Amino acid sequence: MNLLVFAFAAIVLVSAHLLRAARPGHLAGGAVAFLISLAISVMAVKAAAASFGLGRTTDFDRVVNHAVAQVEADPRVPLIVFTGASYSRNALDGEALTRQLRADGYPHRVINLSLEAASLAEREAHLDAFLSRIPRAPDLVFVEVAAAFDQHPAQFFDNSKFSLRGIEQFDLRTSAWTGVGLMQGGCAGAADCAKQAGLTGAHFGLNALNIGLVSQGERAEDAGDLAAYDPQYTAREPVDPEFRLDGLRAGPNFAPRPGPLWIASLRAQLDARLTARGVREVGYYFPPVIDAHERAYVDGLCLGELASAPCISPTDPALLAALEGEVWFDHSHLLAPGAEIYTQWLANELIATGALDRAPRFQISQEAAAP
């Protein structure tokens, strides 16, 4: 890696030498020469890194590697992919869901592609990477929807600013969509809008200038692997019992609604891209949380914007009643016992959508189908 850093530094120095200002002392000419040299250097570094297959690897690359290994170990069965953020990382046990579906006669393999604080754009990029490395497209892809992300386009900055994940994901496309979301009211007042726009611009600049691409880059396939499902057994923060019961017992809001225009457009584009890549059907879901308003937001989407797609919202009173105990990691995430309850419920909901019956039924051995 040190040799690669040296080689890329040499590219920058040679470019700067060849494009230095012919007449030192002319500020405008020097500035133009510098900017041209910088642009050429940036493009050269990016092209060279691409030729070596180098990138800013993050935990999401390791999640993809783990998922690819799961497919390679079970290659002949239809796939269901769930992609989400920490809600899904703590709540969705893909192995247990696979066993449950197979016990009910469905041979599908469930893949969890989730990571905390993952925006839709970040999830889409790593879903693309996953699809490019498996032999055929999944039959079903379920995309997590949540008010925390739909209504806050720069939500990632609340969790991790100026990290490799932040720099890596804020390319031109993600930065542009974030800007559109902010302009459509996805921030709390003028000061917050200015702050989030500034952070977006700074992260885009770091991405465009290849910061971290060489010194910390590696091939995604060599980054190791990480299971998406992250079971928790000890609560991170106490949850007031009265708040928990009030939130879980609050009834669903059955008012149809669309999401904000920017995220609805982004979801529509993702749906079209996945369909073009061979995914038979795209659905949507949200794991259970205590806050009834967050569940109500997803209820509205399932009845409104997403009404034509399989859409699974955690509003079943039986599910919420089963989660009234000490099964919460915090106010929005489940402990492992809660994840077990949700996973069993989700298996039945998947079957109830009819989406599994519309998928091609692949012949597999009894050994492979055993729960």
* pLDDT score, position 255: 86
The conformation of residue 209, written as its DSSP 8-state character, comes to T
Q: Encoding tokens for residue 263? A: 């995220």
Looking only at Cα atoms, what is the longest distance across the chain?
79
Name the residue among 247, 356, 254 with its Cα closest to residue 302: 254
Length of the chain as a residue count: 371
Q: Encoding tokens for residue 341? A: 């309850």
Domain boundaries, the chain: 2-52, 59-369
CA angle 244, 248, 251 (to 5 degrees): 145
**Taking a C-beta distance cutoff of 8 angstroms, is the pair 124, 270 a contact?**
yes
* pLDDT score, position 52: 82
**pLDDT digit string, tens, across residues 317-360:** 999 999 999 999 999 999 999 999 999 999 999 999 999 998 55
**Taking a C-beta distance cutoff of 8 angstroms, is the pair 84, 122 a contact?**
no
According to DSSP H, which parts of 139-188 are helical? 147-150, 164-169, 172-183
* pLDDT score, position 40: 82
The conformation of residue 334, written as its DSSP 8-state character, comes to B
CA angle 249, 253, 256 (to 5 degrees): 160
**Taking a C-beta distance cutoff of 8 angstroms, is the pair 203, 122 a contact?**
no
**In whole angstroms, what is the distance from residue 153 CA to residue 180 CA?**
9
pLDDT, the chain, mean: 89
Sign of CA dihedral 310, 135, 64, 345: positive
CA atoms within 13 A on the CB side of 35: 6
**Taking a C-beta distance cutoff of 8 angstroms, is the pair 343, 97 a contact?**
yes
* pLDDT score, position 34: 74
* pLDDT score, position 362: 41
Q: Is 281 helix (H, G, I), strand (E, B) or coil?
A: strand
**In whole angstroms, what is the distance from residue 262 CA to residue 153 CA?**
9
**Taking a C-beta distance cutoff of 8 angstroms, is the pair 210, 46 a contact?**
yes
One-letter amino acid for residue 73 of the chain: A
Q: CB 88: neighbour CB atoms within 10 A?
A: 30
Stretches where the chain sits below pLDDT 50 are: 1-2, 361-371
One-letter amino acid for residue 59 of the chain: D
- What pTM, to 2 d.p., does this model score? 0.88
| 257 Cβ contact list (under 8 Å, min separation 6) | 297, 300, 301, 303, 304, 305
* pLDDT score, position 18: 58
The conformation of residue 141, written as its DSSP 8-state character, comes to E
* pLDDT score, position 198: 97
**In whole angstroms, what is the distance from residue 109 CA to residue 94 CA?**
8
**In whole angstroms, what is the distance from residue 210 CA to residue 365 CA?**
48
Q: CB 130: neighbour CB atoms within 10 A?
A: 23
One-letter amino acid for residue 239 of the chain: V
Q: Is 282 helix (H, G, I), strand (E, B) or coil?
A: strand
| 158 Cβ contact list (under 8 Å, min separation 6) | 117, 152
**In whole angstroms, what is the distance from residue 166 CA to residue 163 CA?**
5
